[in-house]
Structure 1
């Protein structure tokens, strides 16, 4: 007998994907990873967890802004996906990325829900290529109690981490606090740097350097979630400081050079159920900044007849503030229908900007304030975004359900306009589920792409159109049990007006359209009663059309083949062994890049975990990249000719204690 989907859908709306039984019925392609399972694997942070997701690859840039690439979509952009922490959107305004959150320790995460494709729209926040919802242990529903916890970790590159979680409850009040601090002293081989390619003048080629790129990290974060009856407060202060990586101007920086990327938010919420109506009202403020102090160019650098004998130093600071408010009303008074309507308004603005450089007239090393005369960023940058949403969830019968609706968005610059969405879920029986979806979404240009000024590598453009994607997806899910399933999905993506720049043309422009197609296979289950097996394989292909389709190319910097998986074998109730395998296929270069394509690589991680039931603690030792494989992420053409080498074999020990 076919069970009604409606109760599962309602339960999902209440508690996200707490149970394995309902995530498969959702009208988009979703993968769910649980924190405690990832801890057993020796996964250290959010970045390492996302590298397990089907169709997701990782890339970086000269500032080590790391970002996941979903299904090969525009590897040069940061805002292709959206990151939510407990439902709060945390992408920064400057680059529209969230690299500072990729180092979020896995021990602070209860669950990660990853939606591939643009089908998931949350409170008017459009996800272009995918969305990531990180749920911390602040989540507490009946039958899913949170645990207080202490965490300590130590690993290669002098990595240290410590943190805790604490929950306080009394009557209708619940307060959850988590905190962590972490640091490392990572340096990786790099070079020759971008000067070797003559991008900063042929007279400076001889000044090119090779050496160790400063990729060290220091970050700490305090999060507070407060719930009182129908009211909530979600707040987080994240301070992120890192080395200057490969240099703002593509010249290898000093070890002490740094970038700060703070990201703080405060959100007030009110949820009220009144008969057939549910109101969800939120208001929030977010602060993020780009703050850099670095030796930008080496001793003896020459430009416009001026020689900087002691090099060029710079201090760049731009702080952004975002105010937002959303109101959504859900009505379920019409039989078989649940209608949701509402809006989200967001106001972004630069609230502070400083630009200091070595003296551009004399070549003296002492910094001069050029904030007024040679600013690196538009100090008056601001943008308003208004989004209206309407959606109907229609339960046709016990087997068929539909969701259809649209978003409409206007901004201070270029409007995305009307964006429809329709999806169907068909539950043939308890074991067989089919899905079909169409959705249109967009990515607005980031502030780096719009408002950067007086920069040799990046030039902003306020006339940029939003990137647009039309996505067609179908999926089949076979459920073998509550803990075991197979999922297959096909996708076809039409991307328009994708934003690019290059060393030869540093101004951002809508330079490319891409047609992307492929499929993803995913299996989660077991071989024996005492093990856990997860496998996935992704294939992606397509064409890029440069400058109004006058040139056709294969997808640049994209692996056609990705294969990932892990295996956990529980020796007994206390000990477990696990291994994680990843294969990343070769990558073609962008058409202006004459270098050979990037070679495929495979990595293996291994982990041993011990859990003491009596005292409720866990000790995990892991080895990453066991075979010491050389892993590189692609660099932009005419910059670091040997790309960006990543970590080789490294080690991690983690200790957690629950209370």
Structure 2
């Protein structure tokens, strides 16, 4: 009891100190430390490890002594089972598995404890704890994750994968993080590479890469249930069952049900974002021989939600004659007699609308169905060639009912990768891949837009025909290509000149119907200065393929009433509607980024790790979406990330970081991405079975860009607190308070589709995990 009271006193004392230091650090752009008791991050330690600490002052060691990096790795291995030992290295950017601390890149690894111990429902939410990543909440079913981004929008400029399968949606250039989620019980890790990884991973690996790696079926034997309930009624339930299917063969099946409670918009109006998502998956693993393993896996998901289209600023009156003052275009709300009969009723709101505008919105169903299959053979040859051959098949169907845009995508991939050692210091990695994609696209006119209108040449006011039509959808893909093929190959050559100096160079070659022919080279250097410090540097060239909407789709975003009788210009019977649109640019083949990075990784003793990464991007043809055109610009981005992992006592761990980013578009500084991000986490083990957690997340101010309704998002500091009880390995119960510093705040919305952000509200969360 006395020790418990002493710990409580220390908790209160250090909590106060941490908050003071954290707030002070925010203003000085400091970094926040953190770590999680019981987890095994590659740059941290287990909280209950008892190996002796090293002295703070470096001491001379004999040739066979272990460095602090190696001691940390050894400490982690002591706590692992035999099946887990093989999964400690990460693949990173060299094409073969290597210890985290030797990777010449800004690498971060998330583990299941980073999700459960920090009170997150989904894995994507845990990205808030990764310096350089900006995670925001839109509606109740949308989480946006952006990495070192300069566009500040929902368009992703990084490559997202699940078990090596690319999950970036080619139509809109986004990632459905919810739809691609997996149960926490089967999650092994998420490998996050901040910075281009195109020489290995290829197109779209511009600002970074993340790969969700799931556990083998053998590692998930038995049954487990995870239930998460938020006080607003949002619910998530996961069930995982694993079993044996014969000698050297294992299987698992899993189910997920997620129910979304309706949220509230910033104005106080209902967000109409309730719905559900359900998913089922399986995996089968078998050892075919001593050197060959076989995996067969897949999943099928179904989501049913609604989404909104803002109509408030879509109708205008052509006031070029000056009838209604000097403004050339006047919002039609000033002339209610001109509003079409198909237009929905106005919606009352406390939101301060721009002068002359009345709030109009249209909701449409947004069903989403997706499934995939994955087959993989992997092994090691007699000549020590490690190889894998994977096949992927995927079908994705969705209907954006609010804009009348439906598409179905069928995709087939084959991917071969291998690496081998040539001598004691030489490693080469290489691979070949091919993809075939087929789309079916259908665009329909939604009810509000179903009235006669004169169409125009996109980007102009010149009529394309003087015959009115009611058949102009908001999005029109037209007769543009629907079949796309891609072939790629990569080669990476890594050589260790000494025990401390590693140089790696390589390139990815691609021939694509979308991006043409291109080469994405990269070179990386890693130098272990001594047993405590590693320096690395890198150069990469990376491409991003514009989305199909950006490249091929005509967007009709507004309509203008044109009066025809100068003597009676306000007569709603004397005039016509004219469509306003802009088209994608088929000549936008690819964005090109030249990236320069340097980094420092230090572990002066086992319980303390610090990292610093600096980068500069020079991007040409960067796409910024939004009316009246998808614009391509030259952008220069510079920034840095600082991470910190420290365990001052065996029962207390700290972990955190901060990032700073400055982007200039055509020489003008942008404000659509937070210039400063920071996170800090403190985990204190009050007893062997009880942990108290504190998490802080800070994002600087930014503005969500829009052609007519930009949204200023103020800086905000989020605090989460929680208790986690683990009486044994089979049970975990967590109780968390989230966003405790304010009742609600805005974070994100779809630009030019939604009128205002939803509230991210203070909430309580209960999490229960039981293994049988």
Shared topology, TM-score over 0.5? yes
- Gaps of at least 5 residues in structure 1 are 192-209, 297-314, 546-551
| Aligned position for 2:195 | 117
Identify the match of residue 530 of structure 1 among 648, 651, 661.
651
Question: Quick one: structure 1 residues 146 and 338, their matched pair in 2 at CA, closer, same or farther if it must change by over 3 Å?
Answer: farther
**Deviation readout 1:475-511 (Å, 9 max, x if unpaired):** 11112455641111111111111112323x1x324x2
Shift of 1:460: 2.8
**Secondary structure at the residue paired with 2:617?**
strand
> Do residues 384 (structure 1) and 510 (structure 2) align?
no
Question: Quick one: structure 1 residues 282 and 569, their matched pair in 2 at CA, closer, same or farther if it must change by over 3 Å?
Answer: same
| Aligned position for 1:188 | 264
Q: Check whether the contact 1:115–1:130 (CA below 8 A) recurs between aligned residues.
A: yes
CA–CA distance in 2 between the matches of 1:426 and 1:247?
A: 54
CA–CA distance in 1 between the matches of 2:284 and 2:203?
A: 23
Question: Which of 338-347 and 630-639 deviates more?
Answer: 630-639
CA–CA distance in 2 between the matches of 1:28 and 1:248?
A: 45
> Do residues 620 (structure 1) and 695 (structure 2) align?
no
| 1:195-206 → structure 2 map (5 Å cutoff) | none
Shift of 1:224: 1.9
> Do residues 489 (structure 1) and 608 (structure 2) align?
no
| 1:97-116 → structure 2 map (5 Å cutoff) | 97-99=174-176, 100-101=178-179, 106=184, 108-116=186-194
**Deviation readout 1:581-604 (Å, 9 max, x if unpaired):** 011112257697896853211111
CA–CA distance in 1 between the matches of 2:446 and 2:703?
A: 38
| 1:223-622 → structure 2 map (5 Å cutoff) | 223-229=281-287, 230-245=293-308, 253=361, 257-274=364-381, 275-294=383-402, 315-351=404-440, 353=442, 355-358=444-447, 375=476, 378=479, 380-415=481-516, 417-456=518-557, 459-480=583-604, 484-503=608-627, 505=628, 507-509=629-631, 511-545=632-666, 552-587=667-702, 598-613=713-728, 616-622=730-736
Shift of 1:289: 2.5
| Aligned position for 1:151 | 226
Q: Check whether the contact 1:214–1:253 (CA below 8 A) recurs between aligned residues.
A: no
Q: Which has the higher contact order (CA 8 A, sep 6+)?
A: 2
CA–CA distance in 1 between the matches of 2:440 and 2:472?
A: 13
**Secondary structure at the residue paired with 1:24?**
helix
CA–CA distance in 2 between the matches of 1:249 and 1:447?
A: 27
**Secondary structure at the residue paired with 1:50?**
helix
Question: Which of 630-639 and 403-412 deviates more?
Answer: 630-639
Q: Check whether the contact 2:703–2:710 (CA below 8 A) recurs between aligned residues.
A: no
TM-score normalized by the length of structure 1:
0.82
Shift of 1:126: 4.5
Question: Quick one: structure 1 residues 65 and 163, their matched pair in 2 at CA, closer, same or farther if it must change by over 3 Å?
Answer: closer
Question: Quick one: structure 1 residues 612 and 185, their matched pair in 2 at CA, closer, same or farther if it must change by over 3 Å?
Answer: same
CA–CA distance in 1 between the matches of 2:431 and 2:181?
A: 34
**Secondary structure at the residue paired with 1:644?**
coil
CA–CA distance in 2 between the matches of 1:264 and 1:171?
A: 29
Shift of 1:269: 1.5
Shift of 1:395: 1.8
Q: Check whether the contact 2:200–2:492 (CA below 8 A) recurs between aligned residues.
A: no
Q: Check whether the contact 1:183–1:217 (CA below 8 A) recurs between aligned residues.
A: yes
Identify the match of residue 135 of structure 1 among 213, 235, 253.
213
TM-score normalized by the length of structure 2:
0.71
Q: Check whether the contact 1:79–1:443 (CA below 8 A) recurs between aligned residues.
A: no
Shift of 1:569: 1.0
**Deviation readout 1:324-374 (Å, 9 max, x if unpaired):** 1122343323552222222211122213535354496668xxxx9969999
Superposition RMSD in Å: 3.6
Q: Check whether the contact 2:550–2:625 (CA below 8 A) recurs between aligned residues.
A: no
Q: Which has the higher strand share?
A: 1
- Gaps of at least 5 residues in structure 2 are 1-62, 78-83, 92-96, 288-292, 314-358, 453-468, 558-580
CA–CA distance in 2 between the matches of 1:32 and 1:177?
A: 25
**Secondary structure at the residue paired with 1:54?**
coil
Question: Quick one: structure 1 residues 624 and 289, their matched pair in 2 at CA, closer, same or farther if it must change by over 3 Å?
Answer: same
CA–CA distance in 2 between the matches of 1:190 and 1:586?
A: 17
Shift of 1:172: 2.2
Shift of 1:447: 2.0
Task: State the aligned residue count.
Answer: 601
| Aligned position for 2:148 | 71
| Aligned position for 2:4 | none
Shift of 1:28: 1.4
CA–CA distance in 1 between the matches of 2:108 and 2:473?
A: 48
**Secondary structure at the residue paired with 2:515?**
coil
Question: Which of 402-411 and 35-44 deviates more?
Answer: 35-44
Shift of 1:277: 2.5
Question: Quick one: structure 1 residues 63 and 41, their matched pair in 2 at CA, closer, same or farther if it must change by over 3 Å?
Answer: closer
Question: Which of 488-497 and 76-85 deviates more?
Answer: 76-85
**Secondary structure at the residue paired with 1:647?**
strand
| Aligned position for 1:51 | 128
**Secondary structure at the residue paired with 1:450?**
helix
| Aligned position for 2:768 | 655
| Aligned position for 1:28 | 105
CA–CA distance in 2 between the matches of 1:597 and 1:293?
A: 28
Q: Check whether the contact 2:224–2:771 (CA below 8 A) recurs between aligned residues.
A: yes
**Deviation readout 1:584-634 (Å, 9 max, x if unpaired):** 112257697896853211111111111121x72111111110122543235
Shift of 1:74: 1.9
**Secondary structure at the residue paired with 1:556?**
coil
> Do residues 38 (structure 1) and 110 (structure 2) align?
no
Shift of 1:108: 4.8
CA–CA distance in 2 between the matches of 1:451 and 1:61?
A: 27
Shift of 1:104: 5.1
CA–CA distance in 2 between the matches of 1:161 and 1:123?
A: 33
Shift of 1:580: 0.8
| 1:156-171 → structure 2 map (5 Å cutoff) | 156-169=231-244, 170-171=246-247
